[in-house]
Structures are given as C-alpha cells and as structure tokens.
Structure 1
Amino acid sequence: MLRLAALGLLLALAVTLSSSAVVLENGLPNLWSQTAGQVIELPMQDGILTPNPWNYLNRQSLYRLVIAGTDPYLTYMGTTQTENPFWGLALQLGWMQSSGRLADPSGSTTCGLQTGDAMCISPESFWGCMNYFTSALPFLSAAQQGFLGENIQIKLQVPAGVEGFCTTYTECSASYSDAMTKWDAFFQALKPTSESTLPDNEKKDSILGVYWVAQMATTYASSTCNVKKSHYSAEEQSFADSWLDSAEYVAAAHFHSNLEKSVLFLNPLPGRILRAGDVAPNIDDLTQEENNSLKIFSWMKSINTILGGSMVRMWKGAMCSVTTREKGKELLEQLLTNPSFPTGSFLSFITEMTTAC
C-alpha cells in the first residue's frame, strides 16, 4: 500500500489539477482494488493463463502484475513505492476508460458504455487498440523472462471474429519482433542494472532509456490501429496524432513515468472524446487545464509540421546527456502544466541544448 505521505501528495495533486477525467481512485489507478494482485487470480484454462485484455479489469491487472514483478529490481528509482515506470501506462489506461475512449466509437455495440458493459474495451476503439500493444506485449515479455513466476504459459483471449491481435509470446515475437526484442532487452536489463555500482541517478536514467526504446518500438508497431481513427471527429483525430507525437519528446527525455509524475501529465488531458467544433482554448465544458493541454499539444504538432519535423529531431539531439535530459523533463512539465509558461522558452531551450551537445 502507498506510504501515507505519498498518498497525501497524490491526492493533493489530483485536487489541484482538477480535471473531469478521473485518473486516481484512493490514490491509485481507477478500480485498482478490483484487479488481480496475483497471477493465480487471472482466468485459467487447462493450466494456461487466459486473461481477457478486452476487459478493463483484466487489462489493468496485466500492469499490476508487471509492476509487482519488477519492483524489487527498481529500488534505486526513488523513495516511494510507486516509482515503477509502468505506473504511467496503468494511469493512462484509467484515463482512457474514464474519458470514454475505450468504448465502441462506431455505435454498433454498447461495449464500454454505462448502458452496456462498462468494463468492455472495444476492438474498434483506436485508443483501446493502441493500448493493447502497450499492455499485452510487455506482459508477455515479462512472463517469458520469468518476472511473473516459473513456467507460466499465457494465451490472451480475443473477441470472436476479431483479428490482428497477437495472443502469445511466440505470436507477438513473430508479428512484432522489434518491439518484443526490445521489451525482452528491458526485462533482461533490470537485474544487472539493479546490481550495478553506478550512482542511482545514472542507473535510473539508463533503465528508463531502455524502457522508452521498448515503448516507442511498441508505439510504432501499433500503427495498424490508425485505421480505427476514422470513427472519430477530425478534432479527436488531431488530438490523437498530437498525443502520439508527444511520446517522442518524453521518450527522448527518459521521462520517469512513476505515479506522481504521470498524474501531473494525465490530469490535464481531455476528460471526454473531442467533438466537431471543439477548438482549444475555448471549449466551454472542459477545464482551463484541459483547454491548455490541448492548446499546447496542437502548438507542438503545428510547429514541428511547419519545421518539417526538425523540432522533434532537434529535441532528440538536445537530449544527449543525463543533465540535459533532467532539464528536458522539467521543461516538459512546465510546458504542459503551467498555462503561463512562455512557449518561446521551449524553442530557446532546444537551440541552446543542441549547441551544447
């Protein structure tokens, strides 16, 4: 359970950053208490684990089990019990669920709706599809590398008639070899990194670098989900594109996606699917924080497009050392959470750091 001090801080953050999208429940991701705390609590058939990643609680359980299995090798990451980088993905899934982004966007079923099965994750959801890759692939890799126990066999469930989603380690390795190889590399790096004599900040930066390489490889692998964006408004599609682009920045900075930092970044995200005519910062039923985050996402995407992609390339070039990556993380936090932060400072920083590198 969370330490009391950390819990108080997180609850304070949630109130301060108030958003209509709920990402915390009693200081933990939505419905966390209802997820599986042990592997044996997952569905099983004939000795094979058969979790259903199209059920919110089952999918969130995958993250909980990976966090529990890897925590012993991440003690150098910080002082709380929620320093594991997988907390960011667990919170992200919670935001998708509470904002309605896991529901069927086609309207042909009630999957994910309060009037139907609220825990259902629709295979037609772009967001649910993207998140499938960032939940299933690392879970299967963690199991293969022994972090969930010995000799565990897994075959993920898939809805009838749905294709295009690998369900076993072997299938995923064959279909998405680059992403799975990089997740294997991350899990294989955990033990030697924890035993290293390097300073904790260097170990932390190193393992986060390996983590984000795997994350980005998974994001690229999930490009097959892009066809599902057609279910949404042009405004939601643009936000989804900006959201994907933002991953390039946080990955290059080796962002520490622990619970505390992830709350800061997720609370200001829009608490509902964007509709036609939604133009930030003037969306009446969204909070000031949500409007600001949408405005910043749009600005970053527009500037990068105008510059022919060079802003992302310059940012990656500027993230050349532990020191510049620390400064980069601080800048991203200010940019996305401080409405009065001057965007010009962002460009100045990139230029300055690129020169320094």
Structure 2
Amino acid sequence: MWPALVIPTFLFLSCFSVGSAQIPGSVTDGNDRYPPFWDQINGDIAEFPVQDNKIIIDIWKYKDRLQIYKILIRESNKYFVQFGKNDTGNVLWGLTLFYGKLYKTGRFVKPSNSSVCAYEGEFPGCISIDSGWGGFNFYVLTIYFLAAIESGFLRNISQEIVFLSPEEHRSYFCYSIEECRASFPQAMDAAKKFYQYLQSRKILSIVGDTPVYNTDKDTAILYMWDAHQALIDIGKPMFNDIFQYSSATERDFTFNFLLAIEFCAAAIYRSFFESSAEFLVGFPHRPLTDEDDPILPSDLNIREKALMSSVTLISNINQMTGGSFLTVWKKAMNVSKITQFLGRLIINNLLLIPNT
C-alpha cells in the first residue's frame, strides 16, 4: 500500500519547501466570496423568459449561467445540510465559486479585445464565445444542467429548454439534451450519475424541521469530480484552437491548473463553500500575458505566486514522467480513505500555504 503513496508524496515534498505556518485567511470576506451579482438572482427557473411554451436561456450571458448555478445549488442543498451551516456543505459550491472567479478575473473576455465582455462591478455582462475558459465552463454547466433535467432531478421544469446559439463556433457546442446526448453520451451519463445518486438517498433523521439525508460525502464528491473531469476532457481538444487567441502564458497556466485539479479530484478534494473559497484565493486576479513569463509578475500576491508555481511544477513533473506521476497518484488515492486524506493534506500544503 505505502510504496504507491510514497512515490507521489516524495515527488511533491522533495520539490517544494513548504512553510509550517497556518493556512492564511482569505483576502476577502462575507459576500465578496460569492460570485458577482449572486444576491441579484433567486435561483428560480421562472426568472427566465418563456416563448412558445419554451424556456429561453442566453447561455452566453453571465447572469443566465449564474441563474443556472443557483438553481442547481438550491435544488440540491437538502442532500448536504449535515456538511456545513447555512447550506455551505453543498458539493457544487466549488464549480459555482470558480465560475464567479473566472468572470471577476476577466477570463470571459474576448482575447483580441479585452473590453468585450469585461467584468464591470455594476452590471452583469457577457461571456465571449472566443474565451477558452468560457468554452470549458459552457460544458461544465450546461451538461450538469441538462443531465439534471434528463434524470428528473429538476422535476419542476416541464417546458422545453432552449439555449440561444450564436452561429459563431456553432459546431463546438451542443445546445439541447438531444444534441449533448448524441455528441457526448459518456459525459451526460457521468453527470446523470451524480443526480441519480442524490435521488437514491433516504431521510435518515429530522433535525428541527430539517430532514437529513443519508448522503455519503465522499461518494457525492467522487461523482461530482468524475462528471467534471469528463466535461473538461471534452473541452481540452475542442478549445485548444480558441486558446490560441490568448497569451501562451495564460494558455499554459490554464492547462497546468486543470491538470492540478485532476490531482485534487483523485484525492476527493472537498468542494464545499469554505474550502473552495480558500482554494481560489490563489487564482491569479487577471489573465496572464507573455510578459509574465518566465518571471512571476510583481502585481501577483504571495498566494497567487504559490499557486502558479505549484501547478507549473506539477505539470513539469508529470511531463518528465510521461504522465506516470498522475497515474501513480490516482492509484495511491484509490488505496483507502487514509491515502485520500493524506493527499488532501499535501494539496493544501502546496496550493494553499505560500512557500517561505
């Protein structure tokens, strides 16, 4: 058992000098940790317009995607009440907070014109169809949403969903259950499995007036990460061309970061509100430029520099080992809950605590 764990652990720890200080607190508190404009929507499908008995969603508008995230959070909260106060234990918070982070850091803009779909503090804007991050997020969100409908998890949606589909890059995306099911059946099944698991849960007890379901958090998080990876795998080859519009430094960081997330997923990394918000403190506050390479830019804070350095080194080690680093890590994480706990501890040390 232990040799499988020692190899990835040694590679991690031998390449990093990690301080023993406590994990620093988030640089923002309270509502600042929620996605922008979170309080302006209520997570109700009725907020979308209806035409010809069809619900119309502009999936390339930030606020419409945010509405979907809030619907999924609100409808699934009851299965996770025992994992965090005030609904902070929902395992979908990681995806939701990351969406807000991408928007706030300007990663949904048009790469050739950063003023198009730029984040503005007063009004929710758009998501450029030329944004690689926007493309990745499209699949993560839409297939999660469509799978929730297909599985019957969202029982209150009786009308057909219509995603507005611009002609540009039309072949890159699927805009309905039928299209996504035909093009990406495995990804749809992975997302559907997450909802089917929740639907299979039974009420274990009643605390006050609140039912507590027999949800196993490791199982729910595992299914969430499995679906997420299936959706990211769709986007990697598809949006490689779109990422050519971005700087090479931002493009490299994107794929390095997504690789690091695979390590997190294998360790069943907790995607609750607090842990996700803390993790994302280190995500660079702006898109990277080619002038940022090879020296880390001075306007990044210590947490951002730590995360950038860590994901780059993880990627380099994985490349040098021909992908064996990730393979061995996954095998080690499959050994037991103890190895998963140790894996999460290592990840926290590397990505959340700045090198000193």
Root-mean-square deviation over aligned CA pairs: 2.8
Q: Residue in 1 aligned with 2:190? A: 182
Change (3 A) 1:305 1:14: closer
Structure 1 position 153 matched with structure 2 position 160? yes
Between the aligned partners of 1:24 and 1:268, the Cα distance in structure 2 is 17
Aligned length: 324
**In structure 2, what is the Cα distance between the partners aligned to 1:175 and 1:209?**
24
Cα contact 2:110–2:128 (8 A) shared by 1: yes
Distance in 2 between the 1:152 and 1:250 partners? 37
Amino acid at match of 1:331: I
Q: Distance in 2 between matches of 1:219 and 1:253?
A: 18
Q: Which of 17, 31, 34 is residue 26 of structure 2 equivalent to?
A: 17
Alpha-carbon distance in 2 for matches of 1:37, 1:238:
35
1:152-189: CA deviation from partner (whole Å, max 9, x where unpaired): 42111122444021111111111111100111111011
- Asked if structure 1 preserves the Cα contact closer than 8 Å seen for 2:80 and 2:87, the reply is no
Tell me by how many angstroms 1:61 deviates: 1.0
Question: Secondary structure of the residue that 1:89 maps to in structure 2?
Answer: helix
Q: Which amino acid aligns with 1:137?
A: I
SS of 1:226 mapped into structure 2: coil
Q: Which residue of 2 is the match for residue 258 of structure 1?
A: 272
Q: Secondary structure at the match of 1:154?
A: strand
Q: CA deviation at 1:145?
A: 2.2
Shift of 1:120: 0.8
Would you say 1:293 and 2:293 are equivalent positions? no
Contact 1:281 1:292 in 2 (8 A): no
In the alignment, the residues of structure 2 paired with residue 158 and residue 338 of structure 1 have an alpha-carbon distance, to the nearest angstrom, of 42
Question: Partner of 1:155: helix, strand, or coil?
Answer: strand
TM-superposed deviation, 1:248: 1.1
- Note if contact 1:66-1:139 (Cα within 8 Å) is conserved in structure 2: yes
Deviation at 1:37, TM superposition (A): 2.0
- C-alpha deviation, 1:340, in angstroms: 3.2
Secondary structure, in 3 states, of the residue corresponding to 1:50? strand
TM-score, length-scaled by structure 2: 0.83
Question: Aligned-pair distance for 1:24?
Answer: 6.8
Match of 1:311, SS state, is helix
For structure 2, the 5+ residue unaligned runs are 1-21, 206-212
What letter corresponds to residue 61 of structure 2 in structure 1? N
- Change over 3 Å in CA distance of 1:280–1:98 after alignment to 2: farther
Q: Decide which structure has greater strand share.
A: 2
Distance across 1 between alignment mates of 2:47 and 2:39 = 13
Residue 66 of structure 1 aligns with an amino acid whose one-letter code is L
Task: Give the aligned residue type for 1:251.
Answer: A
1:124 aligns to what? 130
Aligned counterpart for 1:326 among listed residues 331, 338, 341: 341
Contact 1:57 1:119 in 2 (8 A): yes
- Are 1:229 and 2:238 counterparts? no
Distance change (3 Å), C-alpha of 1:121 and 1:41:
same
Partner Cα distance (1:140, 1:330) in 2: 34
Check conservation: 2:55, 2:160, Cα contact below 8 A: yes
Change (3 A) 1:135 1:14: farther
Q: Which amino acid aligns with 1:322?
A: K
Counterpart contact for 1:73–1:194, Cα < 8 Å:
no
Structure 1 CA distance, aligned partners of 2:31 and 2:215? Answer: 33
Gaps of 5+ in 1: 1-12, 342-357
- Greater mean alpha carbon deviation, residues 306-315 or residues 22-31: 22-31
